[in-house]
Chain A
Amino acid sequence: MKPSPDVGIVFPVLVAGRLLLALTNLSETLKHDHQLSSPLTSYFNLQEGIYLFKNGIEPYSGGVFRQSPLFLALFTTVLPTSRIVASITWTLCDAVGAWALIQIWRARQRVAQTSRDSLIAATYLLNPYLFLPTLALSTSSFENMLGLLALMFAARGDASPSLLAAAFLLQLSLSSIMLLAPLILLLASSPVSQLASPRAFSGNGKKIWPLVAEFLVYTAVLTLTSTLISGGWAWVPQTWGASLTLPDLTPNPGVWWYFFTEMFDHFRPFFLMVFSIHLLIYIAPVCLKFQYDPLFAAFILLGVLGTFKSYLTLADPGLFISTASVFPEIYPYLRYPIVTTLLHLHASLLMPLFHHLWLNQGTGNANFFYATTLVFACANGAALTDFIWAGLRIAIGEPQDGYVVVQE
């Protein structure tokens, strides 16, 4: 085995490459792409909100701006909003995310440095599902960074920073609440891989409730801060509420928008409830099944979010795919990695193409794009089920001739 390139060289090189890419004019063409940013993460809407806010107009009254008031505070005080600065900030977010992912891997392995570090950095920084939304300046880059930071601090056992990061993440995206349960389990136990030797939850159960309480305190403080910043509670239905009530039906690669464009209004509340609850259903079984490895449970829930959440963008499945690099022990047990890869290849080529046929060329209609988002959902679903299978299968041991593992 030849020595792997040192992460101390590879990481800066990758970040420098990304910065160069960010400084090109690509973001102008990608900014309005429906697959890279949703109404909840779009840079265009963010600028609109900041402009309204600076000019003393209630930003949440028009139904355009749907991002957290924390962004308003950040961009009106600390950061100026020029395009170049924005591009650099967004790329640095990705760099921090990649660094956090490396730290998660090291914490899981309990070593200071491994030969795999550079590979993990590359899977995060070179993943097109992640760097294209960053080039489009979608605020999903911040969400992904915060999610990885929360997991990283939890893996290292730093409870307060982890919960604070999770509370910030919750401010930006309501659906990230799904990650709370595995995060707290992770804080109460350890990040070391236990997939091959399942056992009952071994952590300190008594730690859980204080951690939940701490998280609630942070959330309450941040919520009040948001209210103070925006001068009222109008932000709640516009940001958190939007991901539950789906007021903006701009197309995205997820499965919600088309379903709700086709729906009669009197069924809407019921199906909104079904779609939202459907996401929550996964938390308990995944956390129970993988109680011995909460980091893996968090990974699986990232996959659920990347498949089924409202206002999905490519960044959500991208985070799931890149996080998979932390679990190499289960790769040999994947049943159909090539099929999943090919599904992703088809979906990622077909989506922009059918989007173009529908909205630019005019030879297709909404059904074309919807059909490809279904292919994309299949690809994500295939990845998710295969990773769940492999995570469970590894516990049974090496395959032996004459024996088959069957799921009852």
Chain B
Amino acid sequence: MNHILTRLRAFLSPPGDPVIGRVRRKQAIVSALTRRLHLINCTLFLVGYLWMAAIPSPRLEKGTYIDENALQPGQVNTYWDWGDVANADRYLEQLEGLRDHNSTSEQRGNILKTEFIKLGIPASTQNYVFTSSTGKVQGTNVYGVLSSPRTSGTEAMVISASWVSRTGQGDGTLNLRGVSTVLALANFLKRYSLWAKDIVFVISDNYVDGMQAWLNAYHGSTQSNLQADSLELISGVIWTALNIDYPGHSFSHLGIFHEGINGRLPNQDLLNSFHHISTWTGGIPVLVYDHLDSPSSIPSWIPDAYHEEIHAYSYRSKNVLRHAGYQARGRGSGVHGLFHQFRIDAFTMFGLPATGPHGFHALGRTIESTLRTTNNLLERLHASFFFYILTAPDRFLKIGSFLPSAVLISVAMMFGGLREWSDAAWILDATTPLEKKEATGQTSGPWIQRSRHVIPVLGIMLSTHLLGGILFSALTTSWFSNNQMVASAMLICVAFTTSLCALFAPSRDNKLVAPTHQLLKALNLCFASTVISITTVVNFSLAMSLAILLGIPLSISSPSQSLPLRLIRFTMYSGLSLGWLFAHDELKKAVWDWEILGVWFAPFVCVVYAPLVLQAGLVCLLPA
């Protein structure tokens, strides 16, 4: 025992001056780390990207569960019966009449309002007009408020349907059955006295813009390009909202759409409760989105034991990709997405069009039971349940299982940037003869330190971001939307030629002053890394896309001696940075989303993403 102790003591405090020992140890650790920095970086990148690839794997996920005990999903008897289904059918006939007569929004609104009033529910209409660079959007919303028989109406739940279904991102398919479900539900829910919250029925016009106008008016927020009537009827604070989308004439599954604008997700408890109720009360199988778990063709040479896992992986990766597509672009996957900005948990239940077997009966029972569940809520749903990826209807990834992937990439970029920064300070002195060095006695090693002028580099970075801001303001003009083709080409030319000024940057003495390109690369990597790691907590999909688009490209940017090579590299980076200007439809949609719904994606790409890549291009372009 004593022997071990003395050995241990000798190891921890070697003979000689303990301070020297400490300094040596520190130096050894630092040099071991810096020598292997490249390896560490590669490992971080590799682990990060592999982790991203593993997100759809069934091995990372957990089964869903209900966190909030008050919800008690599926614990009630439902009373929705065939009589209510007949009501819904009658409403549907009326709506089909409206459709066939091509009635205007206003006529439609008045008729729907009358239907609510016939039921004894106070109802009203709201006209609105949005003006955007692409033109005007107008319509009429209808809403009714069923006051809670049991409380004073300080809290409310919303049941909504938009006139246009979410099919094809609002391609014009009408949501007639969704609307008639809302009307039949109004008729049905009114007969019961157990509601502890007001129920607000909203039939919004068009696809998303109607609901945006209604929610803005309800919460008293102003939007400069929106002219809308103020609401005549109001209720309390809205806690939850169910949006019904039923475009077909029957459905086989109910799909959950949950992504809100700007990457906000609803509380997972709401989705889990709905899943439970739909499966066990309504008897309807639940999907995430609107695609089925179709059998995939797996090559026969793979052993059978792996088939199940590969199949599960391919199904989940479809879900994850769709999730990332909605979330990264900040585009809600349906009308429910607009509720989230006002702190309302909402999702869309989408009846997957099929020849059967389900219809109004099963849907009504599911909604009734879900409403009873949200009616039970005594406080807001818990804050810990907002960060998740739904990989399958009953499977999800916790934040700890996906967040590190993007953070690892960002750490690797940060290390790369710091390395570049410290490299910029030192240069190997090859010219000074050895004797002279000994004579001066200043430096015994061949390394000389040089100063790093940060302010011009920050100036370059700031001007690229300003350029991005100018680009964005050009995108939101009506000039751009009218001549998109010419305009995009012009914008690219302007950005390209402005950047070419970097070619004429004065070349300084590299022995005294650190080269600008090296400092630019260092700060560019550090800033990009910060942006990625911070975005992970707001919008993981966006952070993941940034990690993929920026991670490797920004790390490998480097200048060169030959002019053609410099220009080729710069052109490639500008393509990565501004190539999206030619994706016309996508661009139009993103600008529309920003102007009407306030989605941050378009300004983010212009002011943050494009300039970051452009800076990497400038690193290549600046004189070596």
Contact = CB atoms under 8 A, between A and B. Distances in A.
B387 A363 contact: yes
A401 B444 contact: yes
Interface string A350-387: 10011001001111110000000000000000000000
A408 B383 contact: no
Contacts, number: 46
Contacts of B530: 342, 345-346, 349
Contact of A357 (B526, B527, B538): B538
Given A342-B530, A363-B383, A401-B444, A406 B343 contact: no
A398 to B, nearest CB: 9
Contacts of A360: 343
Nearest to A408: B19
Contacts of B537: 353-354, 357
B472 interface: no
A330 to B, nearest CB: 15
Interface string A223-236: 00000000000000
A345 B530 CA distance: 8
A350 B534 contact: yes
Given A346-B530, A350-B534, A338 B421 contact: yes
Between A338, A360, A408, the greatest number of chain B beta carbons within 10 A of the residue's beta carbon is seen for A338
Interface residues of B, number: 25
Interface in A151-186: none
Contact of A353 (B265, B340, B527, B538): B538
B23 interface: yes
Interface size class of A (residues with CB under 8 A): 20 to 34
B22 A406 contact: yes
Interface in B523-556: 526-527, 530, 533-534, 537-538
A404 interface: yes
Given A338-B418, A342-B530, A357-B538, A362 B443 contact: no
Interface in B383-398: 383, 386-387
B534 A361 contact: no
Contacts of B526: 338, 342, 345
A365 B538 CA distance: 14
Nearest to A404: B23
Nearest to B266: A363
A406 B23 contact: yes
A73 to B, nearest CB: 38
A402 interface: yes
A89 B534 CA distance: 36
Tell me the interface secondary structure of chain A in the complex: helix
Given A342-B526, A361-B264, A404-B23, A353 B534 contact: yes
A354 B534 CA distance: 10
A168 B256 CA distance: 62
B445 interface: yes
B99 interface: no
A373 B23 CA distance: 33
B534 A346 contact: yes
B386 A363 contact: yes
Nearest to A399: B449
Contacts of A363: 264-265, 383, 386-387
A7 to B, nearest CB: 17
Contacts of A406: 19, 22-23
Contacts of A362: 343, 380, 383
A357 B530 CA distance: 18
Nearest to B538: A353
A364 B19 contact: no
Contacts of B265: 363
B383 A365 contact: yes
Which of B19, B340, B537: most chain A Cβ within 10 A? B537
Given A338-B418, A342-B526, A349 B22 contact: no
Nearest to A402: B444
A349 B421 CA distance: 22
Given A338-B526, A342-B530, A361-B340, 6 more contacts: A338-B418, A346-B530, A361-B341, A401-B443, A406-B19, A406-B23
24 contacts: A338-B418, A342-B526, A345-B527, A345-B530, A346-B530, A349-B530, A349-B534, A350-B534, A353-B534, A353-B538, A354-B537, A357-B538, A360-B343, A361-B341, A361-B343, A362-B343, A363-B264, A363-B265, A364-B386, A401-B445, A404-B23, A406-B19, A406-B23, A408-B19
Give the 3 A-B residue pairs with the shortest CB-CB distance, closest first: A363-B386, A365-B383, A362-B343
